[in-house]
Structure 1
Amino acid sequence: MNAQTSSAAGAPASPQAPAASAASTVTLPAQEVDRMRHQLADWANLGRYHDDNASLAPPAPGEQRVVFMGDSITDNWGRLAGKFFPGKPYVNRGISGQTTPQMLVRFRQDVVALHPAAVLILAGINDIAGNTGPETMTDIENNFRSMVDIAKREHIRVILASTLPASVVPWRPGVKPADQVRELDAWLAQYAEQEHLVFCNYYPAMEDGQGGMRPELAIDKAVHPNDAGYAVMAPIAEAAIAKSLAEPRP
């Protein structure tokens, strides 16, 4: 073996070039991962009320059932205290975080299939926040139109509620929703009049004079009513429901 060969054999292996660094990864909280996994599997959350709907008896003769369709503002209404309009044939079908396209997907299952006399729809803030992606105001309006169209075809009276005042969105700090809320509410009021629907206007009683919710009525001083807030909203809802039920079915 010559010196050159011996030297090559005994030399340490040349260090390899460092491997290209792996793409940066972000670790999400387990709760957020679970939420995203669930949303991918059931985007409109049809499973949330599947069993409840199956076990809910049809309305009794003469019963004026009303379904409340909405997001967390509806979902939270009376949940903790177990007091969602006691003694009234009202059914809560709110789901926290939802936007109008998600509500539209589940409208037949969570509203039509329950055979209500009326539906009260409260939505919009999560669309403005972009919870399920970007939406134009026209997109939001069209989702309301589609829910109303379905309800009318099924002879269900429709009550459109104003979006509650909000000047901040805690989970989307960059969003300043006050002007968009006012714009959406103005359209809802005009559309309700045009289509001969009842408009349930919570906004004036809940607003702080600057486009936000009155802090004493909100658990987060932002978008979610506390017990005092719901106490303000309840008679407004009851008056709108009474007005709607007094009108003939579409």
Structure 2
Amino acid sequence: MKKKYIIAPLGDSAIIIEWEQEISPVIHQRVLNTYHYLRSLQHIYILDLIPAYASLTVIYNARAARYAYDEVIRIVTDALNMSAAEVAVVSRQIEIPVCYDPSLGPDLLAMAEQKSLSVDKIVELHTQTTYTVYMLGFLPGFPYMGTVDDILATPRLKKPRVKIPAGSVGIAGAQTGIYPLDSPGGWNLIGKTPVRMFDAEKEIPCYCQPGDQVRFVPVSLEEFHELNHNRQ
């Protein structure tokens, strides 16, 4: 039977496990199962684990011993050979408030016009889906989530903005995400959340984690400002 993954060296102190390269909940569940199982081992050779859409990078301590690489390969192979039931992980269910007022979502009106939809319909389509957090990247705590309704899929802006406010909710292709910090960016902005997506002072600084199931809950502009004030 052909393996559905490959294991390859990545530099001199990491390996990468790659599954079929596509955005798929089934494939991503394999990534998460392996990620959480390896984390649970707390093995002294494994320094960090970085899950993505269809891959998992394992950073190991190459100086620990001459055979560190071989040992990590053995551990990873054992994990991959375990049954799904042995390594299954229960995902967190998260609701995130979002205000879809055009003053906070500067691309909302243009998107509605481009797709011949009302703003209310855009909001309805964006909030009716439960999204999987596939990975964190680009910025600390930036959750890449998918997938949006086909009607909402929109290419990145041709000219990225120089500064996007933290909390901005955007769409790029079939993905949706939230900017955790003020930064440049090219996603289509349709709203904003008062939730702080990254806080370096917390024990777990990133609000979202890979595998989380996220639903967006629409709030009014008044509710947004109240929630935003209360978090200060």
**TM class, shorter-length:** under 0.3
Q: RCO (CA 8 Å, sep 6+): is it higher in 1 or 2?
A: 2
TM-score by length of 2: 0.25
Structure showing the higher helix proportion among its residues? 1
- If you compute each CA radius of gyration, which structure gives the higher value, 1 or 2? 1
TM-score, with structure 1 as normaliser: 0.24
Higher relative strand content: 2
